[in-house]
Structures are given as C-alpha cells and as structure tokens.
Amino acid sequence: MNAIEIRNLSKSFGKKQAVNGLNMTVPEGAIYGFIGENGSGKSTTEKMICGLMHPNGGSIKLYGRDYTDPDVRARIGVLIEAPGCFSNLSVWNNMMIQADNLGIKNPETEIAKVLKTVRMEGAASNKFKNCSLGMKQRIGIAMALLGHPALLVLDEPINGLDADGMRIMREVLTDITKQGGTVLISSHILGELEKIATHYGIIRKGRMIAEMTAAELEADCPTYLSLRTKEQARAGQLLSGRLSRVEKDESGALRVYDPVKPEQVTSFLYQNGVLVSEIQTAKIGLEEYYIDLMKKEGR
C-alpha cells in the first residue's frame, strides 16, 4: 500500500499557483526525499498532506484513506519549518503538551526515550527559547517521534544540525522505516538526503518533474573518470578525438564518461606527451543530477 498518494493536487494563493497538478506516490516504508527549489511548492504540499492547508483541487490519500480521516491523521509526526513549541515553557513541558495532544498513556517514559534518541535528555529542563537552533531542531524531531507515528513529515529537518545531529537523524529515520514507518523529508542538503532516501520526488513550479527510486537514480547517474593534467586544453583535444564523451566540469577538471580504465587514459595521454597529475573514478550524485535536471527544465 502507498502511504501517500497524491493526484492532480493544486493550491493557489491569490494569483500565485503554488502547487499545480502535482502527482506523488510514496510507498509504505519508504524514505522519500522531496526536492525542489525555494518556492517550488514543497512546504505547501506537505502542509496539505498534514491537513493544515486546503487544496483547491485534486486528491490526497494517506494509507488509502482521504487525508482528512482523523484516525490516519492521529498517526502523523510532523516537523514543518520550525518546531511548534512554546518559547516560555521548558523542553519537557513542551513535550508533555504534545504527549497530551496525542493521548499518550505513559508520557514520561516515552518523552525520556525520544529525548534520549536525539541526545537531548540533558536539555529537558531548559526553556525552549534558550536552546540553540540545532537543539531546537532535535527537539522538533523528538516531538515528531512521539506516539510512534506511521508517517513522518519533515520539512528541512537537517537545517542547523551539526555532524552528530545529522548522523542521529539518519539512524532515527532508518529505524523508523525498519519498524514499518514511512518518512517524507524535504531538504536542500542533497548529499545528506542521498545517504538515506529510498525514493525521490523532484518538484518544480508546483509540478512533479521526476519521481524515482534510489536504484533508478543510481542507474541514471553514470560513473566517470575525473582527471587533471598540466595541459588541460591539449588533453581535452586528444581525448575528444579518441573518445565519444569528454567534458570539462566547473572546477576545470576533465570528465571522461566512456567506459575506459584509468590506466588506459593515463597511458594514452603519456604517449602523446601529456602527464596526468590526478585521476579518479567518480559518480554523478543526486546534487549534480538535480542541477542538470533543473537546467534542462529551465530551458
């Protein structure tokens, strides 16, 4: 079953069309990386999924039911934009309020557990307003984890997290999917997203322009040889004459996409009087894939 199934979703604010005929499928148990530029409609879509905004058209199904179904909605954990906490209250009291909201029977035990998960057990008595940005994000994640949500909707949760926080986040999200949960996560930090996502959706101007599994992305992202020589222009000419796809990247390094071994390239250039100073095998990542896709779509 799909955890989220969106068909032809639209939402406008006055004349601005924020979401425009969006289709989206998030399978149960997936970590779905939701990617797009600022203002592309990610947050608006997430808010509609959570019932915080009303669509102008289209349908949203959560676990096969309409998104307004109270039973499904009661099992969503959410962190959209910033944690929804009362600044004058302590972290513990904020967590207790959310536990009350969810009707959790043994709130103290569960709060202690989720705070420990995000390594924030020592900050329970701190006032929320005195917490740093990274601490607030961790608390927001802990709050979203309360009540064992079936679906976790996270909007930019990595922002402000340090390296340890990011590692914890990866562990937490992976654990959730192991227990049958589903995660919808939007982020601009694509390198981090790439480490955990099992599915991707790329949105642009309110429309889904690509939706794929991590395996499909992997297949779409070719490996290449990246090399630097003391005569880049001549090396480029030589390689272009012999191989079918040689490009220069933004840093000035040459990229050879043909399936050739590094020693074949170095030996060929050496024979032609060009010394290779650096060569490595690399792979197109999500970030590059995304930038290329945006460039194509922008045309």
Partner 1 sequence: MAGKKKNGFISQSFARRLNSMLAVDSRRMFTAPLLYVLAGIALVMPILILVMTTMTAGSTVVDPNTGVETTREAFSSVWQDIASESGAGSSGGMDMSSMCNINLMYFMTGVFVCLFTAEDFRSGYAKNLFTVRARKGDYVVSKTVMGFLAGAIFLICFFLGTLLGGAFAGLPFALGAAGFFGVVMCMLAKIFLMAVFVAIFLLMSVFAKQRSWLSICLSLFGGMLLFMMVPMLTPLDSGIGNVGMCLIGGVLFAAALGVLSKMLLAKQDLV
Q: Contact positions toward partner 1, by CB under 8 A?
A: 1, 47, 50-54, 63-65, 68-76, 78, 80-89, 93, 96-98, 100-103, 143, 147, 150, 153
The Cβ of residue 100 has, within 10 Å, a number of other Cβ atoms equal to 10
Residue pair 26/199 in contact (Cβ under 8 Å)? The answer is: yes
Rounded distance between C-alpha atoms, residue 222 and residue 232, angstroms: 22
* DSSP assigned state of 58: E
Least distance to partner 1, CB of residue 113, Å: 18
* Residue number with CB closer to partner 1 (1 or 163): 1
* Residue number with CB closer to partner 1 (64 or 222): 64
Least distance to partner 1, CB of residue 47, Å: 6
Least distance to partner 1, CB of residue 254, Å: 49
Residue pair 83/136 in contact (Cβ under 8 Å)? The answer is: yes
* Residue number with CB closer to partner 1 (44 or 229): 44
* Residue number with CB closer to partner 1 (87 or 267): 87
Residue pair 24/206 in contact (Cβ under 8 Å)? The answer is: no
* Residue number with CB closer to partner 1 (101 or 267): 101
Q: Which amino acid is at 5?
A: E
Q: Which amino acid is at 115?
A: L
Least distance to partner 1, CB of residue 136, Å: 11
Rounded distance between C-alpha atoms, residue 289 and residue 239, angstroms: 24
Least distance to partner 1, CB of residue 73, Å: 4
Count Cα neighbours of 281 within 13 Å in the Cβ-side half-sphere. 9
Q: Which residues contact 202 (CB under 8 A, 6 or more apart)?
A: 35, 36, 208, 209, 210, 211, 290, 293
